Amino acid sequence: MKNYKKNRQVVENLLIEDFAAEGKCIAKFNGAVVFIEGSAAPGDVVDVEILAFKKKKFYEARVIDTHSLSDKRATPFCSYFGTCGGCKWQHIKYEEQLQFKWQQVNDHLHRIAKVDLPTIEPIVPSKETTFYRNKLEFTFSNFRWFTQDEMGDGTELDRDALGFHIPKRFDRILDIEKCYLQPDPSNEIRNELKAFAKSKGFRFYDQKNNVGFVRNVILRTANTGDVMVIVQFAEPNMEDIEATMEFLKGRFPQITSLQYIINTKGNDSYYDQTAILYGGKSYIEERMENLTFRVGPKSFYQTNSDQAYELYKVAREFAQLTGNEHVYDLYTGTGTIANFVAHQAKSVVGVEYVAEAIEDAKINAQINGITNARFYAGDMKNVLNEEFIQANGHPDVVITDPPRAGMDEPVVRTLLRMEPTKIVYVSCNSATQARDIAWLDEKYAVTKVRPVDMFPHTHHVENVVLLEKK
């Protein structure tokens, strides 16, 4: 390690050995692990600056120079790569991304669960690796983030932006012209909305001082062709709000749901705000096989529609339904999985903490003519009592799709008490999934594992596990 001016510590010619959690890379130095941020790749030889040394166990570092590049690399396709904070693996070949995600699942299940495991099946790749998201949110800001190139060209800089938050900087927004995440007309709507706001002299929002007029825009695109646009305003200036809505309505007739929110709070969260319908329907619709799912302004729906279908097909396959089973779908959300498997089951019961989501689930069952699905809102560990089971039937199969934190231990204990024949565990975090599998090992054996890639160019991976009663 060399000491540079101002106590800067640099390690030269360090070999990047592998990927680590959260999309970082790892190397070894002085017998300790070095976690490296930025666009490094396994096989690179680099110089890094040490940013921190934690409890004499590991370093945190960033790349400052590269001597040789790995054959795992690809050429990033987005001009904002390395600045925006999204799509952090554009510089990695897609087949290498898939291999790491598979390895991550394998490592978590073996190292954390420490139970007997079958051979983990190949990961299901995403058919599309760009323009695959159905929802994005963009922020208006008068405090634009400038790149070194922009600051160095000598031109007068416009401080207004409409784009994404810079990582770890809530108050700085990277202006986006073209994003490769969401299909048309997402980019055109965002760019023309910004140009309209500028032409009208609207004040872009100031995150630090909570002042300004235009604040945020949410774009949802569906596989049916439906488009939802929700504009958040920070002031109740109805004349300018109506002018904005009329502009969008006239310029983009393909918008099927046009809404706005007046949000005067100190944050952009809109789940406690009223979305006001200006034009079209109050929802958009997604299709999956012969089912239609209604998605409102606050509804949760998997953000990669095509891969959600692949994920749910895996869950349904693992459940091995014959039409005679009582199925419980825990953490059902808006009932997507519950309604997806209902035609193959005798009955389905969906349980979810968020009451508004359960109302969406009931509507989705109704519009699809599903009569054998029931939905309940409440805390899982309190809802799933003996009285509930007697009223709704003992579950033969439980499908559970919890948030990243996994299932609370009391919920796992409830599953062990209910003793369904099969548990299909869908997870967006294989580490917490592995922890829960270790708890379930008391009565259940893992018989199938199949990862599914929902988010290309990121480190995130979904995983489906089948557990069968011993």
Q: Which residues share a beta bridge with 33?
A: 28, 58
Show the tokens assigned to 253: 């007739």
The structure tokens listed for 292 are: 């239609």
User: And the tokens for 12?
Assistant: 């030269």
- Ordered by where they begin, the domains of the chain are 2-68 (2.40.50.140), 102-128+304-469 (3.40.50.150), 135-288 (2.40.50.1070)
pLDDT digit string (tens) for the chain, length 470 residues: 555 555 678 999 999 999 987 788 999 988 889 999 888 999 999 999 988 887 668 889 999 999 999 999 999 999 999 899 889 999 999 999 999 999 999 999 999 999 999 999 999 999 999 999 999 999 999 999 987 777 766 567 889 999 999 987 778 999 999 999 999 999 999 999 999 999 999 999 998 899 999 999 999 999 999 999 999 999 999 999 999 999 999 999 999 999 999 999 988 899 999 999 999 999 999 999 999 999 999 998 999 999 999 999 999 999 999 999 999 999 999 999 999 999 999 999 999 998 989 999 999 999 999 999 999 999 988 899 999 999 999 999 999 999 999 999 999 999 999 999 999 999 999 999 999 999 999 999 999 999 999 999 999 999 999 999 99
pTM for the whole thing?
A: 0.92
Pairing of strands 326-330, 347-352: parallel
> Dihedral, CA atoms, 9, 15, 21, 24, nearest 10 degrees?
60
Q: What is the DSSP letter of 111?
A: I
- Separation CA 272–CA 263 (nearest Å): 10
Tokens 């504009």 correspond to 231
Nearest partner of 200 among 160, 165, 173, judged by Cα: 160
Residues, the chain:
470
Give the DSSP letter of residue 122: P
CA distance 270 to 252: 24
CA distance 430 to 26: 20
Catalytic residue among 78, 87, 179, 428: 428
Beta bridge partners of 285: 294
Q: How far apart are the first and last CA of the chain?
A: 54
Told to judge if 78 belongs to the known catalytic residues of this protein, a careful annotator would answer no
Write the DSSP assignment of 211-250 as a string of letters: B-SEEEEEEEE-TTS-EEEEEEESS--HHHHHHHHHHHHH
